[in-house]
Amino acid sequence: MEKGMIYIYTGDGRGKSPAALGRAIQAAAEGKSVVIIQFLKGKGLTDSEFIRRLEPEIKIFHFEKSDENYAQLSDEKKREEIINIKNGLNFARKVLTTGECDYLILDEVLGVIEKDIISVEELKTLLEGHGETGVILTGITLKEEIFVLADEVSKIETVECSLR
């Protein structure tokens, strides 16, 4: 991975987040620092001994308070979580502004746009400040306005296997 590049993992297939995590491990193995912020996944990668062993090279954050996936929440809880999600995006802005890490992964941020929690313009504004920090975005749906911001896009699809 090169400094300052924007990578996107998108598509309806499984494996976008693991691919981003693989990139994080690759970067950490090269002596780089990585911040991962997860969205729309409830507690996401939960605090565990394994996750703590990744630090300080890889730091994982999630700002949502609910254990449930965002789509399963009541309207009232969704409103609460929207505030938490926006706090996560503000943290991402701080990370980019301060150059706190070599790579920032915004896991499922494309879903945040798809659910109209933030706009494409808000994401564009966030990414304008990335400087030398490499950024990885993940999510199922990729809008054209975001596609053009990327240096590399990987589309992950599920392919029907008829050999079984």
Domain boundaries of the chain, sorted by first residue: 6-155
On the question of pLDDT at 59 being above 80, the answer is yes
- Mean of the per-residue pLDDT values of the chain: 90
Task: Please report the pLDDT score of residue 53 as a whole number.
Answer: 82
In the structure, what pLDDT confidence band is assigned to residue 36 with cuts at 50, 70 and 90? very high
Query: What is the reported pTM?
Result: 0.91
pLDDT at 122 over 90: yes
CATH architecture of 6-155: 3-Layer(aba) Sandwich (3.40)
What is the C-alpha to C-alpha distance for residues 72 and 47, in angstroms, rounded to an integer?
Answer: 22
- pLDDT band per the 50, 70, 90 thresholds, residue 55: confident
SS (H, E, C) the chain: CCCCCEEEEECCCCCHHHHHHHHHHHHHHCCCCEEEEECCCCCCCCCCHHHHHHCCCEEEEECCCCCCCHHHCCHHHHHHHHHHHHHHHHHHHHHHHHCCCCEEEEECHHHHHHCCCCCHHHHHHHHHCCCCCEEEEEECCCCHHHHCCCCEEEECCCCCCCCC
Q: Token digits for 84?
A: 């938490």
pLDDT of residue 160: 82
